[in-house]
């Protein structure tokens, strides 16, 4: 279940993805399959070669791409979500969603 996102944020992410940018969309998320994870970040880009190369840089496999509709993306959560957002300089999302590295 997703929550904590505004429609304009979703639309801005979709627009950036369609333009071929690597775009991030973070929201609160609860799923019993992933205990301890309360956020997910969708890192998307319509340019699949670019998305695959970006993913490899962060240790993500191309087969992990969710090819949903017109918005291919990686779902990032847990330690990997935090590490990638930090590496990408997205302190704004880390702070907004009160993410902390796991110890």
The model's pLDDT over 6-54, given as tens digits with 9 standing for 90+, comes to 899 999 999 999 999 999 999 998 888 888 889 999 999 999 999 999 9
pLDDT at residue 72, rounded to an integer: 98
pLDDT at 4 over 80: no
Q: What is the pTM (predicted TM-score) of this model? A: 0.92
Contact 82, 101 (CB under 8 A): yes
Question: Each residue of 51-102: pLDDT tens digit?
Answer: 999 999 999 999 999 998 899 999 999 999 999 999 999 999 999 999 988 7
Determine the Cα–Cα distance for residues 15 and 9; give it in Å rounded to an integer: 10
pLDDT at residue 41, rounded to an integer: 96
b/e per residue 59-71 (b: at least 16 CB within 10 A): ebeeeebeeeeeb
Determine the Cα–Cα distance for residues 61 and 76; give it in Å rounded to an integer: 12
pLDDT at 2 over 70: no
Beta-carbon contacts of 26 under 8 Å, excluding residues fewer than 6 positions away, are 39, 40, 41, 42, 81, 85, 93, 96, 97
pLDDT at 1 over 60: no
Determine the Cα–Cα distance for residues 79 and 77; give it in Å rounded to an integer: 7
């Amino acid at each position: 279940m997703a929550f904590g996102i505004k429609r304009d944020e979703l639309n801005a992410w979709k627009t950036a993805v369609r333009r071929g940018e690597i775009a991030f969309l973070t929201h609160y998320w609860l799923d019993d399959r992933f205990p301890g994870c309360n956020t997910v970040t969708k890192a998307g880009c319509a340019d699949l070669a670019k998305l695959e190369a970006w993913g490899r840089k962060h240790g993500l496999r191309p087969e992990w791409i969710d090819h949903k509709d017109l918005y291919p993306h990686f779902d990032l959560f847990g330690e990997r979500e935090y590490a990638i957002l930090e590496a990408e300089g997205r302190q704004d999302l880390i702070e907004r969603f009160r993410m902390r590295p796991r110890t």
